[in-house]
Amino acid sequence: MIYALCIVLFLLGLYGVLVKKNLIKIIISLAMMNNAINLFFILLAYRKNGVVPILSFLQPNANLYETAVDPLPQALVLTSVVIGLGVTALMVALAIRLYYVYGTFDITKMRKLRG
Amino acid sequence: MTGMTIIVKTVAEWIKGFIIFYGVYIVLLGHLSPGGGFAGGVIIACSFIMMELAFGKDQAAKELSKHGSHLLDEYGALAILFLGLLGYFLPKLPFFSNVLMQKFSFIPFHILSAGSIPLINLAIGLKVSTGLYSVYIYLSHYDPRMQEDE
Amino acid sequence: MGLLPLFVAIPLFSALLLGFIEHKKGIMHTLVMLTTSALVILAFATPLQRGFYFVGGHHPFVGITLMLDPLNRLLLIVVQILVFVASWYSIGYMEQYTAKSRYFSFVFLMLAGMNGIVITADFFNLYVYMEIATIASYALVAYGGKAHELEASFKYLVLGSISSLFILLGIALIYSQTAALNMMVVAQRLDVTNPITWLIITVFAAGFGLKSALFPFHSWLPDAHSSAPAPVSAILSGVLIKVVGIYVLLRFFYNIIGVDQAPLTLIAWLGALSSLVGVLLAMGQHDFKRLLACHSVSQVGYIFIGIGLGTPLGLIGALLHIVNHSAFKSLLFLSAGSVEYATGERNFHSMGGLAKVMPWTNAASFIGFTSIGGVPPLNGFWSKLILIIACVSSGQWILGLIIVVVAIMTLTLFPKIQKYVFLGDLPSKFRNVKESPWSMILPMLVLCFFCIVLGALVVVPVLRETYFLPAVQALLSGKWLGVFQNAP
């Protein structure tokens, strides 16, 4: 059931993106959604009393497959964090440019585009 | 405005080396312990950003300019691509294969182990540290009145 | 199969190399043309059968697998040719902007991302490439740096990030169900009766629907595609939405979860609605590029109708329309860009008579308009005809009727623009307008050539059997079962 909490966090972020009027709050909400999914990935890999997933000749462990935590989601989360960093940096850059153009962070005041 | 007070400047000057050293340590031991190129690179970038905050942008530009960090960033990316293609151009090895692991034998859990993974970690560390620093200076020094000349 | 990594490596290498030769224009242009033309040749040199490439030499259960089959190959060829044409055009067009090398870097990053999406057979790899392609496209939409471009880019960025995160959630759910990311293994292990699978299907349909501007999610597309520079609009409308949205959805529905389980009827009806909404939106526009962008929504709707029918004929129509739409819509975007380059004007009510001063652009956009309107010998006619026949033969009369209505609306829409822009009296402020340089006209003529001959893709038996029917067959062969047998 702890997985449901990730979904709740994701939906809270989605709510923030759809409802908030401030650019910075939208960016924070998107980061929140991203982190909810990262948390979900990490929880998938978690195993109670799991061991480090290193297969070694020095300390052979026969039932490693049954006891080790899953290492793959950690690699995936690292990649996803990097991508999130890139997207957030681009969004902040756009928000700064928009702030200099319009003098506000309020998206309801940015209406150069029709429709 | 040239940075913060003398106390901040002195402390930043002292701990700068330690932070960079710690970042390099994390990059170099990425294949043996938690960490690696990205985490270490972020730590190194943090030390650059700290210096920039403490001493102001002119001093920081003297140490590592916008253009210089941009170039280093590209060198890091090219190094990663080169290490990937190394496997491709050698016979009978696929793209991004661990070339050094195939050619030489290593003792596990030593610094010089895991083939080309430490090299990839180094390249990622270079790329991430300079890339993050460029992101920071491009975002914080943006001035709409000054047209970009590049 | 040894060629496959090059489709990602070459554009990445060129994108990085361009940072070092910012100020040497001649070398930069040579590098751009060499890279793109080499990729076109490589795309044609790929083998015809299905094959795999294991990155790093790992077992497919744990490593990243690249895959090539006839469907991939068709899209790979389309992407390379279109990016080649658009970069050729950009050499002349982007003279009005600064920082040309950075522009080409972004285009190549986008190309690397699109090629990666097309050739990968791994879900997380797909997500990474998708982000590379779309982040480059966000930056390209904001490239001009004016207020409306920044605004469009931010809108696109927020909606694009939401869709990416939905897709990432779907990938996480898939991993939780199957403990695999390789598409073939997922197809084997995914239990389609499990309610979680329905959640995955919903999340994926929402995510990729947003990326490809399906009906309830279409609002970002007209802004984003009309604000970008013209060659970028051509790439975005021509291939990016198809590769990022439609191609992945096709694979997911047909090869991974199987046709029986996919919500195809819903997709077909959403496609019909978006084709209607798109053409109605297009009728109300008076900005040349914005009209074309709105019309892209309706053409994507056509493709989704073909996918949603699920019959072989519907799939043939959908794939043919993917190819054709990338030819004529990018041709029209390029000619709109040419008009904008020469006159600095995008509102077509204040133009007129440009046929006298810009004969080549006039000819190119005439071919584009007749092709998009579906006049018989040109390519647009064939795909629409096949889609209508497919609708009727599978008993979906109403869908067929909607296609006919939208086609008629399109046919009435575009001669109007031709009249406003190119015919009539030349306003006095456009007396000194010159035709665009040859480096912009020749790419348009290449696309004109494709608009004329692409109908041959279904008519000429050799082309049909080499390029087209195997692609349809790759989809219709059903779920990928038993491709990789033994577990590690």
Tens of pLDDT, residues B87-126: 788 777 778 777 777 777 777 667 777 778 888 899 999 9
Which residues numbered 23-62 in B keep a CB inside 8 Å of some CB on A?
38
Which residue, among A27, A5, A1, A34, has the nearest Cα to A91 in the 3D structure? A27
Q: Is residue C150 part of a domain?
A: no
- Say if the Cβ atoms of C147 and A83 lie within 8 Å: no
Decide if C5 and B88 are in contact by the 8 Å CB cutoff: yes
Residues 6+ apart with CB under 8 A from A54: none
CA nearest to C278, candidates C409, C160, C429, C142: C409
Look at residues C223, C433, C209, C191 and name the one whose alpha carbon lies nearest to residue C307. C209
Contact C351, C430 (CB under 8 A): yes
C340 C-beta neighbours (distance < 10 Å), count: 18
Residue B146 predicted with pLDDT over 60: no
Per-residue pLDDT tens digits for B15-74: 999 999 999 999 988 888 788 888 999 999 999 888 888 888 777 777 777 788 888 888
Phi, psi for C353 (deg, rounded to 5) = 65, 15
One-letter amino acid at B119 equals L
> Is residue A113 pLDDT above 70, yes or no?
no
| Residue of chain B whose alpha carbon sits nearest to that of C145 | B144
Give the model's pLDDT for residue A40. 92
Range of the structural domain that residue C288 is part of = 263-477
DSSP code of residue B92: T
Which positions ≥6 away from B103 have C-beta within 8 Å? Answer: none
Specify the pLDDT at position B19. 94
Taking contacts as CB-CB distances below 8 angstroms, the residues of chain A near B139 are 89, 92-93, 96
Compute the mean pLDDT over every residue in chain A, rounded to the nearest whole number.
85
Q: Is residue C235 part of a domain?
A: no
**B108 interaction partners in chain A (CB closer than 8 Å):** 56-58
What number is the average pLDDT over the span B118-147?
Answer: 83
DSSP secondary structure letter of residue C479: S
Question: Above 60 in pLDDT, residue A115?
Answer: no
Chain B residues near residue A81 by CB distance under 8 angstroms: 38
Nearest to C250 by CA among C306, C196, C178: C306
pLDDT of residue B149: 42
Which of C59, C110, C150 to probe the A interface (max A CBs under 10 A)? C150
Closest CA–CA distance from residue A78 to any residue of chain B (Å): 8
Chain B contact for A75, CB < 8 A?
no
Name the token pair of C23: 């100020």
Q: How confident is the model at residue C482, as a pLDDT?
A: 72
Residue C338 lies in a domain: yes
Contact A113 C151 (CB under 8 A): yes
The whole-angstrom separation of Cα C476 and Cα C133 is 28
Residue at C43 is within a domain: no
- Is A94 at the interface with chain C, CB within 8 A? yes
C54/B94 Cβ within 8 A: yes
CB pairs under 8 A between A and C: 85
Helix (H) or strand (E) holding C51: strand C51-54
User: Nearest-CA neighbor of C295 among C329, C261, C270?
Assistant: C329
| Choice between B70 and B146, residue whose per-residue pLDDT is larger | B70
Structure tokens at C4: 């496959």
Token representation of residue B43: 């730590």
Measured between beta carbons, the chain C residues lying within 8 angstroms of B130 are: none
Is C383 inside a domain boundary? yes
Nearest-Cα residue of chain B relative to residue C20: B71
Tell me the per-residue pLDDT of C91-147, one tens digit each, with 9 for 90 and over. Answer: 988 888 878 888 999 999 999 999 999 999 899 999 999 999 999 999 999 888 888
Annotate C213-234 with three-state secondary structure: CCHHHCCHHHHHHHHCCHHHHH
B140 vs C449: CA distance, rounded Å = 49
Sign of CA dihedral C106, C301, C310, C459: negative
Could you tell me the residue ranges of all domains in chain B? Answer: 6-140
Q: How many angstroms separate the CA atoms of C53 and B80, rounded?
A: 20
CB contact under 8 A, B95 and C53: yes
The DSSP line for A52-82 is -----SSS--TTHHHHBPPSHHHHHHHHHHH
Q: What span, in angstroms and rounded, lies between the C-alpha atoms of C373 and C379?
A: 10
Contact C257, C317 (CB under 8 A): no
List of residues 6+ apart from C299 with CB closer than 8 A = C275, C278, C321, C325, C329
Report the number of distinct structural domains present in chain C. Answer: 1
The pair of structure tokens assigned to C448 is: 């004109």
Phi then psi for residue B93, to 5 deg, are: -125, 140
What amino acid occupies position C4? L
Q: Which chains touch B (3 or more CB pairs under 8 A)?
A: A, C
Determine, for residues A57 and B108 on separate chains, whether the beta-carbon distance falls below 8 Å. Answer: yes
What ipTM was predicted for this assembly? 0.93
3-state secondary structure of C398: helix
Residue of B nearest to A87 (CA): B135
Asked if the structure places residue A114 within a domain, the reply is no
Q: Please state, in angstroms and rounded to a whole number, the distance separating the CA atoms of residues C74 and C71.
A: 5
Amino acid identity of C333? Answer: F
Residue C23, domain member (yes or no): no
Domain count, chain A: 1
Please, what sign has the CA dihedral across residues C134, C140, C145, C149? negative
pLDDT for residue B150 is more than 50: no
Residue among A44, A48, A49, A51 at smallest CA distance from A75: A44
Chain A closest-CA separation from residue C249 CA (Å): 21
Question: Which ranges of chain C have pLDDT less than 70?
Answer: 485-488
pLDDT at C108: 94
- Burial of C268-293, coded b for 16+ CB within 10 Å and e otherwise, reads bbbbbbbbbbbbebbeebebbbbbbb
Interchain contact, C57 vs B71, CB within 8 Å: no
| Structural domain that includes position A39 | 2-109
Q: Is C147 on the interface with B (CB under 8 A)?
A: no
User: CB–CB of C221/C245 below 8 Å?
Assistant: no
β-sheet bridge partners, residue C68: C51
Contact B4, B51 (CB under 8 A): no
- Interface contact B139-A96, CB threshold 8 A: yes
How many angstroms separate the CA of residue C55 from the nearest CA in chain B? Answer: 5
Measured in angstroms, the CA of C3 and the nearest CA of chain B are apart by: 10
* Cβ contact, residue pair C55, B96, below 8 Å: yes
Coil, helix or strand at residue C286: coil
> Of C317, C452, C292, C294, which is closest to residue C371 (Cα–Cα)?
C452
The residue among C424 and A7 whose pLDDT is bigger is: A7
Q: How wide is the angle at C-alpha C311 spanned by C-alphas C310 and C313, nearest 5°?
A: 130
SS3 content of chain A, % helix, strand, coil (to 5): 70, 5, 30
pLDDT at residue number C163: 93
Count the residues in chain B. 150
Q: What is the pLDDT of residue A100?
A: 85
Q: Residue C123's pLDDT is what? A: 92
Domain presence at residue A115? no
Q: What is the CATH number of the domain that holds A47?
A: 1.10.287.3510
Closest-CA residue of C relative to B99 is: C56
